[in-house]
Amino acid sequence: MLHKSFIRRQITRSGRQALVFVLCVTLSIVTIVALDGFGSSVNEAVLKDAKSLNGGDIIVHSHQPLSPGLSRALRSWEDQESLRSVRTYGFYTVVRVPGEDRSLLATLKVVEPGYPLYGSVELQSGRRFEDVLVQGKIVVERSLLDRLSVRMGDAIHVGSATLTISDVVTREPDRPVSLFSFGPRVFVSSQDLEALDLIRKGSRIQYDALLKVHDPDNLERIAQDLRDHALQGQERVETYRTARSRIKRFFDNFLFFLTLISIFTLLLAGIGIQSVLAAFLKEKERTVAIMKTLGATSRFVAVQFVTVLGVLGLLGTLAGLALGALLQAWLPGLFRGLIPSSVQPSLSWRMAIDGFILGILVVVLFTYLPLDDLKQLKPVAIFRSESARARRGWRAALTILAVMLAFLGLIVRRSLHDFEIGMWFVLGVAAFILAAALMAQAVLWALKRARIRSLTFRQALRGLFRPRNATRAIMITLTASLSIIFSITLVEKNIDASFVQSFPPDTPNVFFLDIQPAQLQEFKEALGRPAEYYPVVRGSISRIAGEDVDVEVERRSRGDNLAREFNLTYRDHLLGDESLVEGASLFRPDWEGLQVSVLDTVLDMRPVEVGDMIAFKIQGVPMEARVSSIRARRGELIQPFFYFVFQELALRDAPQTIFTALRVDSGEISALQNRMVKRFPNVSVIDVTQAVSTLTGVMVKLSGITRFFTVFSVLAGILIIISSVLATRHARIQEAVYFKILGARNGFVLKVFTLENVLLGLVSALLALGFSQTATWLISSRLFDIPFRPFLLSSLSMLMATVSLVTLVGLISSWSILRQKPAAFLREQTEE
């Protein structure tokens, strides 16, 4: 039976607690709802523009000129007039200003007439791309003009050709964002390809054939035929429906990561829900005890409060949906530069229903325990202030735990398509929250036993242990959420200091790629300084340790995968930063046949042991080698390394290029680059410091977005602070009044309450700093192999900011308590 007026009054009489509960529910789902909708919008946009984003109906990718078999198949379809194709060639090269020492790494795209097949390349002048990009002319990105100080109509050297800048590109259909590019775009007509003289054997070039199929019904048939003729591991045939562009892959991964953070927020908001609810229901204990004394059954009580929480949960869920939709509308702005500009937020019934179900799941998951506690309450509570709850048996506890895990699993399943990683993440987060809880508990244990002389400080400390104070919940939530934010900031600063502010000493900062074997001697002489030269042969793996490489499965991997092309090399010695972890020597003198030494990183993708066989395809030629040793490297981020090293005789005659990496004083880089490119136009020079700075720009953007989403978990902490103040409102007023009755001034009470919040913020921030400094040290030393710096000043700023925030929130929530008149409170007490 529902007692409507009772239910209404329970909500209105604890209005503030109810509001915080609603806000916690809202917070728990808002980011997931927004990201879910946003992800759908991106997918829709990508699907809608899939043909132009991928460049055609069918796309053939290769790092080698198309194999004769595939070329023939392609020509045959063209001859039948089933399709039209254009070829494009993408690569990095250094362009130079004639007669001057100005040069720049650029991202070249050589295109045949007819490009693009879908969409259009928009130019600053408004002219048609095909009219502008003719022989002898180039179209460039605005930043090239700025960085080389050249203007439209000027000529620049591209490879061995001198070409005139004829326009500025403002939008490319198959390159929706340029954030990840290491150099500005330069469009060159395919008629100039030969004059560039940049395509040599083994050069690092992306050969693409973009196809427009005349009859859509033929699409799959043609694609399958081309796949059948493609060299596996070297040539990839995709349709616009199946292709996952780099941007899409990146976005999927980043969205996955943000959804993980949202689940983290959900868990913290869940702690908030439980904390608020415990306080809310504690206030109702007396009412429940009275109801039970008058004969109400546990079921009757449960029904009333389930309805109360159902109403509040519903309000929270609806608010979460509304705010999620609002946030979703704002996300394209936040992600600007990372996603195609055509992405528009869209609302759907599916999103609303999904969000609604999620909200209900969250409410059920996090309200079950406090509600069950209330059900267990005995009528004797009417006489006693201490808890009169029945104790749970271990079976009941296990059942509850299993139910909670199942619900959590459902939520993870719903939000993340990769359930296994999601569950590992949830378990990891649970372990981290447990660690934060243990640390908070240890600190509280120590604080409780501290003997403090100062009266104000002592009272503040005592306040932390006030009955019903959610001190521990606040500390856990703030510690966990701030740890993430602090860690992001500190890692970012460490990387910035190591790579951007000061590039690590003894680390190569200039890479020369695509040196042809015939140029090697002349190159060495021109360079005029000692350097190690690494031959590079490109190849793929078809079978490893007895298992075939499944291209589809491998490509779904979030990390590195075995389906890509690898840079293979040959030598007979270990590099300076390498050591053997298995095998006595790089190669076994007692073994017959081909041998390969494998870097231990490969083991992360597939377990391999010494003696296992690996089948490679090098330029289409199959080759099987036996694993002779497994190497490890010290992990210098920017030192050259190779996953697979062969004996010289195995690869010496394969098509190859050579690269070298060396350390050059920053002031000399530009002159060296100009000198070498002038003499060897086909050689790409990469100034790593500039590349790192580009990457840092991307990283700053990504960490900004991550921080934005983590702030929602801090909000969970703030809500718990507010709920804690509300839950202990009576106790706080009591303290304030008693202090005043005993002769304390308002200033004293204010100082005690302020100091209590300062302590709360300080302990949480110090614990978070401890966690984040440890995490940053681990990430810096183990992952990036850069020196760890604690950034004490920044740490102090973050500490101060946290303390200020917590104190401010705590004091604002307590303001009306501080103004309470003693007589009024005492009168209420007496009346009770």
Partner 1 sequence: MNILEATHLTKTYTIGDREIDVLKDVSLAVPEGEFLVVQGNSGSGKTTLLSILSGLDKPTQGRVFIEGRDITDLGEDEIAPLRNEIIGFVFQSFHLVPSLTVLENVMFPAELRRDPLAGDKARALLERVGMQDRLLSFPHQLSGGEKQRAALCRALVNAPRIIFADEPTGNLDSTNGKAILELLLGLREEHGTTLILVTHSGQIARMADRTILLRDGTINGESPHAP
Closest to partner 1 by CB, 459 vs 657, is 459
Token pair of 693 as six digits: 């700075």
Closest to partner 1 by CB, 464 vs 482, is 464
In angstroms, rounded to a whole number, what is the distance separating the alpha carbons of residues 243 and 248? 9
Of these, 449, 747, 782, 793, which contacts partner 1 (CB under 8 A)? Answer: 747
Of the listed pieces 267-275, 371-379, 463-471, 499-507, which binds partner 1 according to CB under 8 A?
463-471
In angstroms, rounded to a whole number, what is the distance separating the alpha carbons of residues 440 and 477? 10
Number of residues near partner 1 (by CB under 8 A): 32
Degrees, nearest 5: CA angle 198-201-206: 65
Count the Cβ atoms, other than its own, within 10 Å of residue 659.
21
735 binds partner 1 (CB under 8 A): yes
Report, in Å, the least distance between residue 750 CB and partner 1: 11
How many angstroms separate the Cα of 342 from the Cα of each of 34, 86, 172, 576? Answer: 18, 25, 12, 49
Count the Cβ atoms, other than its own, within 10 Å of residue 370.
21
What is the Rg, in whole angstroms, of the alpha carbon atoms belonging to the chain? Answer: 33
Closest to partner 1 by CB, 369 vs 444, is 444
Residue count (the chain): 832
Report, in Å, the least distance between residue 692 CB and partner 1: 54
455 binds partner 1 (CB under 8 A): yes
Q: What are phi and psi of 210, to 5 degrees?
A: -100, 130
Contact between 86 and 111 under an 8 Å Cβ cutoff? The reply is: yes
Report, in Å, the least distance between residue 738 CB and partner 1: 5
Of these, 330, 419, 424, 465, which contacts partner 1 (CB under 8 A)? Answer: 465
Token pair of 80 as six digits: 């039948």
Token pair of 242 as six digits: 């199946």
Report, in Å, the least distance between residue 725 CB and partner 1: 15
738 binds partner 1 (CB under 8 A): yes
303-340 burial, b for 16+ CB within 10 Å, e for fewer? ebbbbbbebbbbbbbbbbbebbbebbbebbeebeebbb
Closest to partner 1 by CB, 500 vs 731, is 731
In angstroms, rounded to a whole number, what is the distance separating the alpha carbons of residues 32 and 263? 7
Report, in Å, the least distance between residue 315 CB and partner 1: 30
Count the Cβ atoms, other than its own, within 10 Å of residue 18.
21
Nearest to 102 by CA among 153, 146, 52, 50: 146
Handedness of CA 62, 65, 71, 77 (dihedral sign): positive
822 binds partner 1 (CB under 8 A): yes
466 binds partner 1 (CB under 8 A): yes
Of these, 463, 508, 761, 810, which contacts partner 1 (CB under 8 A)? Answer: 463
Site string for partner 1, 771-810 (x = CB under 8 A): ----------------------------------------
Site string for partner 1, 547-576 (x = CB under 8 A): ------------------------------
Site string for partner 1, 379-418 (x = CB under 8 A): ------xx--------------------------------
Contact between 49 and 340 under an 8 Å Cβ cutoff? The reply is: yes
459 binds partner 1 (CB under 8 A): yes
Token pair of 167 as six digits: 């326009």
Of the listed pieces 173-181, 366-374, 416-424, 457-465, which binds partner 1 according to CB under 8 A?
457-465
Closest to partner 1 by CB, 421 vs 818, is 818
670 binds partner 1 (CB under 8 A): no
Of these, 182, 708, 748, 784, which contacts partner 1 (CB under 8 A)? Answer: 748
Of the listed pieces 211-219, 437-445, 460-468, 654-662, which binds partner 1 according to CB under 8 A?
460-468
Strand (E) or helix (H) holding 549: none
Residues that bind partner 1 (CB under 8 A): 385-386, 455, 458-459, 462-463, 465-467, 731, 734-735, 738-748, 821-824, 826-827, 829-830
